[in-house]
Amino acid sequence: MFSKPALVEIALGVSAPDRVLAGVAIDSFPPVVVRTYPAAGEQNVDSRLSEVRVTFNKDMMTQEMWSFVYAKPASFPKISGEIRYLPDGTTYGMWINSPQHNSFKDTRRNSAVPYLLVFSTRD
C-alpha cells in the first residue's frame, strides 16, 4: 500500500522567443501519455473500476498491437476472460510501452515514450 506521497512542484522557466528552436514541431517528438484514469499515484480507487484509460497527446494507431507491460508480475491486473481487478487494497503497476515492448505508436509509427502507471484500490 502506498504511503501518502510528498507533493513536489517544479517550476521550469521557458526561454525567450528568440532562443526557441525554429522549425521544431510537436509532430517531430514521440507521443506521450498526457492523462490516465485512474491517475498515476491515485489511492482509494474503487475496486469495481472496469477499465483503465490512457490518453496520448497524438492520434495513435488503432490496428497495431499494444504494449501493457508488467511493472512486477504480482502488481499487474489478473486477466481471466474480461479484465477485472482484485479485491480492495491492491496496488497495481503497469508500463504503457517499455524499452523492449513499444507497440503503442502514433499514426506516423513513432513509439510512445514509456509511462509507468501505478495506483491502488481502497482498503
The whole model's pTM is what? 0.71
Domain range annotation of the chain: 33-120
pLDDT in tens, 73-108: 888 876 655 544 556 678 889 999 998 999 999 999
pLDDT in tens, 17-29: 555 566 677 788 8
Q: Determine the Cα angle at 26 with ends 20 and 27, to 5°.
A: 140
Cβ–Cβ < 8 Å for 92, 77: yes
